[in-house]
């Protein structure tokens, strides 16, 4: 196994093989068939980056919606309620000196402080993740965390930086997030990702829209790299690659996305359709497919258990997840 890197050469090769709007031909010389476990792992790479973004901003949605009585009553996000949010807001103001510009730094510092304070709600088992906030950045150090996304446990460091959208300066419900990880270990595979998303709120519903993304991975599952395709546009006019929604206080998300990826030297379109994932549970439902111009159609559907059947792959069609309580 060798470590993945995000060098310019790697990303340039990806863009040449299959950039935004390219045709999905699997005619790359040396392409090899995909196994069931590889297909599932590819979806985990995307979901791990999404989870980093969501777990960081979910407490902010609770803070935004906490004045709504229905949101308070429905909240299942352990330890987050009106009093907890107020205490975290006070802690954030105290730790950041309360002298920063109220329209920008206060909102982003509060978002980072809330994220750090609630890390153990999302990263399990309890104590597997250490989280610290410094200004507008939260840093997670993971040690064999079992995410509700992965076919294996995850270890390493993830940073999430918060900024405010220019059109809504200082608003906790309108943030830009940048999640990065280098050589994050998922079992024996190494992941590197850099993902930017827009966070907006409508009532008690949160929306994360990925607008920029790159990732690479290497290991026993095969090398892969990604350049994402267009699935729509956000209210800011930026291209949307992935849309993740959830309700304030809930520990489940719904994901819809389309990506162009390379796997085993072949180019594929990877599509996520209504994939539901919940903390401390196996993915509940939804379908993931990988298709190419040569007629390959790899498909699997999550079913709330750790066992999956994957069609269109080489060898065994069975795949096993490490998930659930």
Q: Is the pLDDT of residue 4 over 60?
A: no
The pTM score is: 0.79
Ranges of H-type helices in 66-123: 69-74, 82-95, 105-117, 119-122
SS3 324: coil
How much is the average pLDDT of 3-25? 27
Q: pLDDT tens for residues 201-248?
A: 888 999 999 988 888 888 766 677 776 666 667 766 778 889 999 999
CA atoms within 13 A on the CB side of 158: 34
Q: Is the pLDDT of residue 3 over 90?
A: no
- Looking at per-residue pLDDT, the higher value among 21 and 145 belongs to 145
> Which is more confidently placed, 121 or 31?
121
**Residue environment code for 133-166, b if the CB has 16+ CB neighbours within 10 A, otherwise e:** beebbbbbebeebbbbbbbbbbbbebbbbbbbbe
Q: Where are the domains of the chain?
A: 32-315
Specify the 3-state DSSP secondary structure of 41.
helix
Reference 114, options 67, 141, 81, 145; nearest CA is 81
Please compute the mean of the pLDDT values over residues 143-147 and round it to a whole number. Answer: 87
Question: Mean of the pLDDT values across residues 177-187?
Answer: 90
Instruction: Give 200's contacts (C-beta < 8 A, 6+ positions apart).
Output: 173, 174, 206, 207, 209, 235
pLDDT, greater one: 318 or 220? 318
Residues 6 or more apart whose CB falls under 8 angstroms from that of 83 comprise none
CA distance 253 to 169: 26
Distances, alpha carbon 194 to alpha carbons 35, 50, 245, 302, in Å: 26, 11, 20, 26
The more confident residue out of 172 and 287 is 287
- Span 24-35, pLDDT tens digits: 333 455 578 888
29-43, 179-193, 302-316: segment of lowest average pLDDT: 29-43
Token readout for 322 is 């490490």
Q: Name the token pair of 169.
A: 């300066």
- The two three-digit tokens of residue 120, written as one number: 């153990």
pLDDT category of residue 310 using cuts at 50, 70 and 90: very high
The Cα–Cα gap between 107 and 18 comes to 38
Mean pLDDT of 319-324: 77
pLDDT at position 55: 94
Three state DSSP letters for 133-168: EECCEEEEEEEEEECCCCCCCEEEEEEEEEEECHHH
**280-284 contact pairs (CB < 8 A, 24+):** 280/124, 280/148, 280/251, 280/324, 280/325, 281/148, 281/323, 281/324, 281/325, 282/148, 282/306, 282/321, 282/323, 282/324, 283/148, 283/149, 283/321, 283/323, 284/252
Q: Which of 112-116, 134-138, 150-154, 313-317 has the lowest mean pLDDT?
A: 150-154
The pair of three-digit structure tokens given for residue 242, joined into one six-digit string:
């992935």
Please say if the pLDDT value at position 22 is more than 70.
no
Distances, alpha carbon 238 to alpha carbons 19, 77, 198, 209, 231, in Å: 17, 31, 9, 9, 11
């Amino acid at each position: 196994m060798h470590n993945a890197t995000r060098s310019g050469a790697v990303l340039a090769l990806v863009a040449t093989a299959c950039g935004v709007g390219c045709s999905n031909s699997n005619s790359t010389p040396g392409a090899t068939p995909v196994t069931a476990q590889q297909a599932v792992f590819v979806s985990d790479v995307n979901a791990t980056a999404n989870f980093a973004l969501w777990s960081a901003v979910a407490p902010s949605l609770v803070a935004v919606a906490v004045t709504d009585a229905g949101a308070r009553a429905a909240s299942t996000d352990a330890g987050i309620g009106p009093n907890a949010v107020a205490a975290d807001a006070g802690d954030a103001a105290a730790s950041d000196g309360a002298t920063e510009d109220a329209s920008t730094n206060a909102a982003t510092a509060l978002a980072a402080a809330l994220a750090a304070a609630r890390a153990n709600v999302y990263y399990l088992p309890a104590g597997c993740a250490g989280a610290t906030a410094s200004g507008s950045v939260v840093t997670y150090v993971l040690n064999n965390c079992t995410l509700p996304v992965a076919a294996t446990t995850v270890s390493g460091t993830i940073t999430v930086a918060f900024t405010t959208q220019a059109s809504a300066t200082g608003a906790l419900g309108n943030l830009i997030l940048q999640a990065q990880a280098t050589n994050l270990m998922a079992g024996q595979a190494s992941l590197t990702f850099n993902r930017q998303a827009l966070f907006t709120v409508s009532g008690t519903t949160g929306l994360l829209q990925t607008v920029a993304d790159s990732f690479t991975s290497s290991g026993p599952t095969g090398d892969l790299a990604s350049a994402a395709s267009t699935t729509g546009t956000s209210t800011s006019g930026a291209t949307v690659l992935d849309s993740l929604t959830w309700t304030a206080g809930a520990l489940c998300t719904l994901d819809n996305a389309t990506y162009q990826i390379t796997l085993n030297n072949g180019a594929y379109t990877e599509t996520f359709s209504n994939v539901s994932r919940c903390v401390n549970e196996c993915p509940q439902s939804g379908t993931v497919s990988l298709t190419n111009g040569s007629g390959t159609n790899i498909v699997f559907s999550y079913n709330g258990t750790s066992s999956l059947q994957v069609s269109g792959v080489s060898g065994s069609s069975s795949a096993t997840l490490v998930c659930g309580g």
